[in-house]
């Protein structure tokens, strides 16, 4: 059983910062208990309406334990059923994107007789999201409080907080665990950041010391998660919301927001925003009010829900409200709360092509829809951008063809993102088909990770060993075919990222040890 520990520590660190970016302000900044842990610049926050998760952050860059207790108090200990009933009262849903009812997940883990684990998903693989980083960096004890509350309720033996290794959040939450003196109960797991690293199965594999990619078959964390134990897996914001709910109670928690979706939600607003920030808003807030607060220009449209979300046209965005229901009625999905206004200076289709190519490269290459379908979808969209009407029909077929057929939801999300661009930007599509361009450059408004100079990978053959077994062509049909004599011929000069796993398997299985992998920049 995990117990809550209260220790008297240091005070909050005041701040002010230029252009909405927070940082230390004068002598008070030296009060930070671990200045090397918290960088000068941290994710800025804004509030529209009452602040819950971000309460107090307008005056400080990071809350230590004492400041957290002063601001939020201590969540009362609760039984598993009492906590589930409380979550049911406000219909609390997971904030990682899938919006799964938290109480249902909690009860599923409670029913297991084995040892249990609580897993906090703070691995933001989405380049356009920073709310998890904000929570871990600026108010880590709120996340820890919610995780400990859940752990006590279900009798979990350990809490694991998974975040990007070496990132701001990793350092901050590690310091918070040390500050509480609960390192024997709470483990901070640093994982490699990729787009798919936050997918549930991929996250569990990373925490278990395996390659951080989906397992290829559906494995529910409540059945077999961390170390093979029943695991309560939810997003960092979900646990922070849980702590606030338990402290306030259902009635006070529901004082803000809509009757159907009470409370607040965290949004990461970027793109064309001149004052990008993580914004806490009451559900039901008009989307245009959020954009105005961040000095954002809608332009051609707004991406909602991230790179597995959907584009909203400017007209749809103008009437949308911030809630699962409100965004769905506008034609999108709230997902993990990512809001990217496009502005009017960049090419919408060009921006979508950039991300489609990135998503194709982020595939783990485990199934045909990812390995073959996503690169084809990205290529067809690029051809549409260049003016090919034939490619437009081909794109619709290819994007529809990957849906529902993957080993995880990556193909479905990518398809939704690409197809939504066709609906949101019909005038821009028409310009490209007529003229091969809309006349605007691609400014890179949608954020992507910096390109790494990874060495190129090639397949080679040691011809003194090759006996023409042909197994390589069976194992890697996208890379190798056989000539008229049954010997391998490579169809590509280099091995794309999504095919590298396939290439390694072919090399490992070559009976003559003739197939090799060569690297070179």
Determine the pLDDT at residue 25: 31
Mind listing the domains of the chain with CATH numbers?
A: 74-252 (3.40.50.11540), 256-341 (3.10.20.600), 348-435 (1.20.1440.230), 456-520 (3.30.70.20)
Any idea of the CA torsion for 36, 453, 198, 380, to the nearest 10 degrees? 150
Structure tokens at 173: 């939450």
Q: What is the mean pLDDT of the chain?
A: 88
Q: Is the dihedral of CA 229, 233, 239, 241 positive or negative?
A: negative
The Cα angle at residue 319 between residues 317 and 321, in degrees rounded to 5: 85
Looking at residue 198, its pLDDT comes to 79
Task: Centre a 10 Å sphere on the Cβ of residue 131 and count the other Cβ atoms it contains.
Answer: 28
Mean pLDDT of 286-309: 96
Average pLDDT value for residue range 8-13: 37
Max mean pLDDT range (34-48, 122-136, 230-244, 357-371): 230-244
Name the token pair of 469.
């077994």
Predicted pLDDT at 40? 61
Place of tokens 């960049």: 346
What pLDDT is attached to residue 26?
A: 29
Amino acid 33: pLDDT: 41
Q: What was the pLDDT predicted at 37? A: 53
Share of the chain above pLDDT 70, in %: 89
pLDDT in tens, 433-452: 999 999 999 999 999 987 65
- Window from 351-360, 431-440, 461-470, 503-512 with minimum mean pLDDT: 503-512
Q: Which of 13, 297, 275, 282 is nearest to 139 (CA)?
A: 13
Q: Is the pLDDT of residue 351 over 60?
A: yes
Residue predicted with more confidence, 324 or 478: 324
């Amino acid at each position: 059983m995990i117990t809550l520990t209260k220790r008297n520590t240091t005070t909050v660190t005041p701040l002010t910062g230029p252009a909405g970016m927070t940082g230390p302000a004068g002598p008070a900044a030296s009060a930070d208990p671990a200045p090397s842990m918290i960088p000068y610049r941290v994710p800025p926050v804004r509030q529209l309406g009452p602040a819950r998760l971000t309460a107090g952050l307008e005056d400080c860059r990071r809350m230590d334990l004492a400041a957290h207790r002063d601001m939020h108090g201590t969540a009362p200990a609760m039984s598993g059923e009492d906590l589930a009933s409380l979550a049911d009262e406000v219909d609390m849903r997971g904030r990682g994107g899938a919006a799964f009812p938290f109480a249902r997940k909690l009860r599923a883990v409670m029913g297991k007789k084995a040892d249990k684990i609580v897993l906090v998903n703070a691995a933001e693989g989405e380049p356009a999201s920073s709310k998890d980083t904000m929570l871990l960096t600026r108010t880590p004890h709120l996340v820890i409080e919610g995780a400990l509350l859940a752990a006590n309720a279900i009798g979990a033996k350990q809490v694991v907080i998974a975040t990007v290794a070496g990132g701001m959040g990793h350092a901050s939450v590690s310091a918070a665990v040390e500050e509480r003196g609960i390192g024997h109960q709470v483990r901070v797991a640093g994982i490699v950041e990729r787009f798919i690293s936050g997918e549930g199965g991929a996250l569990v594999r990373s925490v278990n010391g395996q390659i951080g990619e989906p397992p290829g078959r559906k494995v529910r964390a409540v059945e077999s998660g961390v170390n093979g134990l029943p695991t309560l897996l939810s997003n960092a914001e979900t646990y922070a919301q849980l702590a606030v709910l338990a402290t306030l109670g259902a009635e006070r928690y529901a004082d803000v927001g809509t009757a159907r979706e009470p409370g607040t939600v965290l949004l990461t607003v970027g793109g064309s925003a001149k004052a990008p920030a993580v914004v806490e808003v009451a559900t039901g807030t008009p989307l245009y009010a959020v954009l105005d607060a961040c000095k954002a220009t809608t332009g051609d449209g707004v991406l909602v829900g991230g790179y597995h979300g959907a584009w909203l046209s400017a007209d749809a965005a103008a009437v949308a409200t911030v809630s699962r229901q409100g965004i769905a009625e506008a034609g999108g999905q709230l997902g993990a709360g990512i809001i990217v206004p496009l502005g009017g200076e960049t090419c919408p289709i060009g921006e979508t092509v950039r991300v489609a190519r990135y998503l194709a490269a982020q595939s783990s290459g485990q199934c045909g829809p990812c390995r073959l379908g996503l690169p084809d979808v990205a290529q067809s969209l690029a051809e549409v951008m260049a003016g090919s009407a034939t490619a437009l029909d081909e794109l619709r077929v290819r994007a529809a063809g990957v849906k529902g057929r993957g080993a995880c939801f990556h193909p479905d999300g990518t398809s939704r993102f690409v197809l939504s661009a066709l609906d949101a930007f019909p005038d821009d599509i028409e310009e490209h088909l007529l003229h091969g361009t809309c006349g605007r450059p691609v400014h890179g408004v949608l954020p992507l990770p910096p390109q790494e100079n990874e060495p190129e990978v090639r397949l080679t053959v040691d011809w003194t060993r090759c006996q023409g077994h042909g197994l390589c062509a069976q194992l890697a049909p996208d890379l190798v075919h056989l000539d008229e004599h049954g010997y391998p011929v490579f169809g590509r000069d280099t091995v794309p990222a999504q095919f590298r796993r396939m290439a390694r398997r072919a090399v490992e299985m070559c009976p003559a040890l003739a197939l090799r992998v060569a690297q070179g920049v």
